[in-house]
Structure formats: structure tokens, C-alpha cells
Amino acid sequence: MSSAVPNATTGSVPTSSAATLEAALQAQLSSNLGLNLGPFVLGLAFDTALLGIMLHQVIRWSTFSKKESTLVSCLVGFLVMISTATSGFGLAYMFHLFVYGFGTYLNFVGTHWPAWYALLDVLTTFPVQAFYVYRAYQLHQDANWIPVLVLPVMLASVAGGMATMISSERLSDVTQAAASLLSIIRPHADLTSLRSPSRNTCTFGQTELGETKSLVNKFLRINIDSLLPATLVALGFMINYAVQPSSFVNLFWEMWHPKCYIVCFLAVLNSNITLESYGNGSNGNIKSSYQGSNDHPLKSSKARHSNVQLDGITVNTHTAEEAYHTAPSKVGLNRRPLGDEEWDQKLEYAGNSSQAGYTEVPSRNGRL
């Protein structure tokens, strides 16, 4: 077989050797279509499924987005825009492989399209990681060691993604491995960001109050759930790359890895309302269930909140005022109030027409 290789930018080869290389690639890829071509289809399927979950979370978040800070709102908008662009890019890539380039096996080994996933991955993961680092920084009362420890690892991850995109297949195998190893540092940044708020939460939860312990456990669970899925996906990519660097399965991980960050990030934001209502104690729970089932049509209620701080202890007071109004009687033939004498001779809907007197209604005075 000729030694000609596809161009790193266009994926094209010299015309003289194109037919030979195409035949060789067809024989190689056709030997196991599921393992060689399946990752492209599955990657798009996973990405599309996570896109639907993300849009559902964005709609739910938009119902209370006014309570969020401007920085968080801008971050959500940027991430949604990048995530949608990533899904559109993946769809265009599939059209390039299976529609416009159908039957051309050289397109599967071209590096121009897959190289962009490294940039899209960095644009998605870095803002989310920065958010978690800033959150851990606040929870630790502005501890400077957190950004000093995590930011260099995050910057190394960004450098690895940029180097992977720029280098593509133009460099030697050793240099490619070094650039890819920089992008593999990303899971360590995730784990470091995960441990920081978790350690602070465990320290904060040393109390005998049952409600506080339950709230702390919920907060800890949310932090772990928000970073663990994306970290596991990154670890899966790292293990797969270490075992077989030239496998198409590596692209499968990269196609939907950024969506994991956004979905988990939005899950954390949507959990804020649940934690706020839960943090109000049992009164907050009663209030939500009480107002959710209003069987009285004329019921009216007013709620007032007050916060009092005494010696560093904040007391939240919730006062509810409710009133039940009686509906006036409707005007009608059978709803007119009757006197005692009229009641003796009238039934509910019509007058007593008995001629024999057997159906006389006893009066309230004891006489017939």
C-alpha cells in the first residue's frame, strides 16, 4: 500500500494514491462496522439526548432566573449557546460523513472536523469549572489556596485542548501524546473542584440538629452528583485513549462530554429552590403543601416573613393570616326561608296535596 496519508486540514490525498488508500480503508473499517463507525452514530445520539435534557432544565430554570445574579445568567446563556452550537456541529459532521460524503472512507480518518471538538470542549468545561472553583472559594471564606491549587490544572487543561486542535495530525506521535495528556488533566481539575466544597460541607455539618444534618446531606449529594458524571466520562476517555489511542471510540466520548457539564451545572442551579424551601424548616414545607391544596373557594391568606438576628442567631418567622367567607344564599324557589306555619304544610319542592291526611307533616309545636 502507498505511504500517502490524508491531508491534516482537508482530509484529501494525492489523486494517484487516493484509490489505493480508499480501498485499504474500506477493507479495514468494514471488518468491524460496529466498532469503527458505531461511535459516530452513538456519539450524536447521546449528544442529542443530553441536549433535550438541557433544554428542559433551561426552561425550568427560566421560571426563577430573576433571582439569579447577572453573572450566573450570562454564564447560563453562554453555555446554552455553545452547547447548541456543539450539537449543530455534530449534526453537520454526520452529514459530512454519511450524506454528502457517503461511501467515502477517507472522510473518517480526516482530522479537520474532529479537531474542533477539542475547542468546543474547552469552551464548555472551563466556565463550569470556574463556577465550581468560585463557589468553593466562597464556601471556604475566601480561601486563596483553592484557586492557587485548581487554576493551574484548569489552565493546563485549556492548553491541552488548544494544542490538540492546532496540532491535529501534523505532529509526531510523541508530541500528539503529550498534547493529549494535557487534555487528560481535566479529570483531576474536576476531582479537585469536587473535593473542595465537599470538605467544607462536612465541616459545616457538625451539629446535632436533625434538620441541619439533612440539609447538609442534601447539599453534599448535589455537589457530588453535579461533578461526578462529567468526571467519569473524562476518566472513560482517558482510559480508552491509554488502551487504544487510534480508536474511534475516543471521539465518542468527546462528542457528548461537554453536555454532561452543562446538564449537571443546570441541575445545581435548579436545586436552589428546593434547598431554599427545605432550609426554612417544617413551616416552609407546611406552607407549600397548605397553599397547594385550597378546597375553599373563598379562602384568602396573607403571608408575612420577618428575620430577627440575636447574638449571631437568625430567627425566621412566618405568619399566615387566613379568612373563610360564607357564600350568600342564591335566590330561588326552593331556597326561600319559610316560617313555622308554612313549613308544616310544605315539603321541599312542592306543597302537600294529600286529601286523606295521612301524609300530614307534624308541626314543630307538636300538633298535626
Task: Kindly report, residue by residue over 290-323, the tens digit of the pLDDT.
Answer: 344 444 444 455 555 555 555 555 666 666 666 6
Domain match, 301 and 342 both: no
Distance, in Å, from the CA atom of 204 to the CA atom of 236, rounded to the nearest integer, reads: 33
CATH number at residue 199: 1.20.1070
Domain match, 302 and 186 both: no
Domain match, 314 and 362 both: no
The residue-averaged pLDDT of 238-247 equals 83
Q: What are phi and psi of 315, to 5 degrees?
A: -110, 120
Highest mean pLDDT of the ranges 16-25, 117-126, 222-231: 117-126
Three-state secondary structure readout of 8-68: CCCCCCCHHHHHHHHHHHHHHHHCCHHHHCHHHHHHHHHHHHHHHHHHHHHHHHHCCHHHC
pLDDT at 293: 45
pLDDT at 215: 56
Establish if 201 belongs to a structural domain: yes
Domain match, 147 and 264 both: yes
Whether 361 contacts 345, CB under 8 Å: yes
- pLDDT, one tens digit per residue, over 69-114 is 888 899 999 999 999 999 999 999 999 999 998 888 888 887 788 8
pLDDT at 31: 85
- Residue 7, Cα to own-chain centre: how many angstroms? 39
- Residue 338, Cα to own-chain centre: how many angstroms? 65
Domain's final residue, options 245, 279, 313: 279
pLDDT at 334: 54
Domain match, 166 and 115 both: yes
Q: Is the pLDDT of residue 49 over 60?
A: yes
- Residue 233, Cα to own-chain centre: how many angstroms? 16
Pairwise pLDDT comparison (222 vs 133), residue with the higher score: 133
Domain match, 255 and 122 both: yes
pLDDT at 337: 57
Domain match, 156 and 174 both: yes
Establish if 329 belongs to a structural domain: no
Domain match, 134 and 55 both: yes
User: Which DSSP category does 108 fall into?
Assistant: G
Does an H or E element contain 302, and which?
strand 299-310
Domain match, 233 and 345 both: no
Domain match, 91 and 131 both: yes
Distance, in Å, from the CA atom of 309 to the CA atom of 292, rounded to the nearest integer, reads: 30
Establish if 3 belongs to a structural domain: no
Whether 186 contacts 205, CB under 8 Å: no
User: Which DSSP category does 330 fall into?
Assistant: P
Domain that holds residue 293: 284-324
Establish if 1 belongs to a structural domain: no
Domain match, 237 and 304 both: no
Establish if 273 belongs to a structural domain: yes
Establish if 357 belongs to a structural domain: yes
- pLDDT, one tens digit per residue, over 136-161 is 787 777 778 878 888 887 888 788 77
Pairwise pLDDT comparison (135 vs 259), residue with the higher score: 259
Domain match, 223 and 311 both: no
Domain count, the chain: 3
Average pLDDT for the chain: 70
Establish if 290 belongs to a structural domain: yes
